Structure 1
């Protein structure tokens, strides 16, 4: 069964905080490994200051569990010191998966 639900989040690091955002996202992997409902999880860099997270889920319940889990809580706590603006978090529906 292919995942049907996703989350795409883009964040912009404050000037001089790029490495800290990189480290935060790299460290977040440990928390995601504990989430049985998160099918895939990617942290990535778009350019010098823009980073992102993309994850997939089989059910809406799994997605909501992730959105109320450890990573969003940590992002809410550390975001004001690391990010230049609020994260752009979008809940998406997957159309096709390979």
Structure 2
């Protein structure tokens, strides 16, 4: 069964902090490996200073567990030093999956 819920988070690196954001996101996979309710987790780059995270979940409880987990906590702790503004985090419903 395909996941029905997700999160889309977009972040913008401060000038000169692009590699720090890249490294932070690259290290995030190890964190979400310990979250059984996170079905998929993608970190990606859109432009030189814009990055994103997309993850999927089967239930709202799984999504909330992730939102209360280590990645958002780490973003709250390290974000002010490397991000130009607060992350734009949006809950989404997945319509179709291939």
Q: How many residues align?
A: 98
Offset, 1:92:
0.2
2:76 is aligned to 76
Unaligned runs of 5+ in 1: none
TM-score (norm. length: structure 2): 0.99
Unaligned runs of 5+ in 2: none
Over aligned residues, Cα RMSD in angstroms?
A: 0.4
Instruction: Give distance in 2, aligned partners of 1:6 and 1:39.
Output: 9
1:26 matched residue in structure 2: 26
Tell me how far apart the structure 1 counterparts of residues 28 and 97 of structure 2 sit (CA, whole Å): 24
Superposition deviation, residue 13 in structure 1: 0.1
Query: How far 1:30 sits from its partner (Å)?
Result: 0.4
Output one character per residue of 1:12-66: Cα deviation in whole Å (capped at 9) or x when no partner.
Answer: 0000000000000001110000000000000000000000000000000000000
Q: CA deviation at 1:73?
A: 0.1
Aligned to 1:3: 3
Matches within 5 A, 1:84-95: 84-95=84-95
TM-score by length of 1: 0.99
